[in-house]
Amino acid sequence: MSEQLIADTVTAIAATSQRAVAAAEARQASLTKPAGSLGLLERIGIQLAGIARVCPPPVPERAVVGVFAGDHGVCAQGVTPWPQEVTVAMLLNMAAGGAAINVLAAQAGAEVVVTDVGVKLDYPPTDGVRGRNVARGTRDLSVEAAMTRDEAIAALAVGIDTANEALDGGAQVLLTGEMGIGNTTASSALIAAITGAGVAAVTGRGTGIDNEALAGKIAVIERALALHRPDPSDPVGVLAAVGGLEQAAIAGFILGAAARRVPVILDGVIACASACIAVSLAPEARGYLIAGHAGAEPGITEALSWLGLDALVDLGLRLGEGTGAALALPMVQASARILRDMATFDDANISAG
């Protein structure tokens, strides 16, 4: 069933509209500003027109941040200083509204939807957590496959379902978020496997490890890639070998949005890794992606370059959760509003230079 949902979702993902893109390019040129002077906002506006298949595109007011939580067996290798208890503690903090993502989403006017797709430890039934646990964490990717193919597929389907629920509820733009101690390790492994970049070039300090631990983290990922030899032409196989349940769910969330022709704002390195999987499964999904921010993790730079995306901002963030995506949301909305509301040179009786 999950396999069919993924196949149907991938099939539904169509190229964005070149006709609307051309109309938006012409409109940008007619607005009362020097050509190109609003920089990346102009390109995002054009992209939004292509996604919506109309110019000007609607301003995406209703936003949902999909936060997916999962645990990682690779924590056994000392790749993060934080214990796995923090994943569930932060999940409950997010459900209670106390995490950074809750605050920044509230500031941006976005709703946060929290899903347990792979948390390891027990917690009491909690309002505000969607219980869609596929497995109690992954296995240690440096000694065996992190997931079975079936687990990866089930987690992808959780992400697609979550996107569909948000869109059925009226969301006009989706933002990716996550929580999972150890998940920067799986993300760097995914980015290296898909893009072919060297492990050292895509591996960062995550929550903040020292030089010695960073060298160990790189060695762990190198060992995993040598063990599994993941084939980038088999993205589900790559996910199963070195990914995580939340990365699989985020990849599904992206596919779900693209299938319904809705833009997705990516957060940090975990989102970028998931986007590499989504685009490997459905190349046309790329047109629906907006890179919210760059941030401290070097894997973001490599992944965005492979995806061909420019990050909206770089605030030096290294938190994840969806924080960078939430901060980018007003800029994405501004890009659409510019196309809709600015006067043209004709309207304002200004002769174009």
Ligand X SMILES: Cc1cc2ncn([C@H]3O[C@H](COP(=O)(O)O)[C@@H](O)[C@H]3O)c2cc1C
Ligand Y SMILES: O=C(O)c1cccnc1
* Contact residues for ligand X, defined by CB under 6 A: 80, 82, 86, 90, 178-185, 206-207, 319-321
CA distance 6 to 12: 10
CA distance 146 to 128: 28
* Binding partner at 185 among ligand X, ligand Y, none, C-beta below 5 to 8 Å by kind: ligand X
* Binding partner at 318 among ligand Y, ligand X, none, C-beta below 5 to 8 Å by kind: ligand Y
Closest CA to 51 of 17, 9, 26: 17
Do residues 242 and 274 make contact, with C-beta atoms less than 8 angstroms apart?
A: no
Instruction: Based on the residue annotation, tell me whether 111 is a catalytic residue of this protein.
Output: no
Residues 284-313: x where in contact with ligand Y by CB under 6 A, - otherwise, as a string = -----------x-x----------------
Name the minimum Å distance from CB 318 to ligand Y: 4
CB nearer ligand X, residue 75 or residue 174: 75
CB nearer ligand X, residue 82 or residue 123: 82
| CB neighbour burial string for 18-54, b if at least 16 within 10 angstroms, e if fewer | eebbebbbebbebbeeeeeebebbbbbbbbbbbbbee
Q: Which of residues 254-283 bind ligand Y (CB under 6 A)?
A: 267-270
CB nearer ligand X, residue 50 or residue 180: 180
Name the minimum Å distance from CB 45 to ligand Y: 26
| CB neighbour burial string for 116-139, b if at least 16 within 10 angstroms, e if fewer | bbbbbeeeeeeeebbebbbbebbb
72: contact with ligand Y by CB under 6 A: no
Q: Which of residues 200-259 bind ligand Y (CB under 6 A)?
A: 206-207
CB nearer ligand X, residue 46 or residue 328: 328
Q: Which residues bind ligand Y (CB under 6 A)?
A: 184, 206-207, 267-270, 295, 297, 318-320
As annotated, the active-site residues are 321
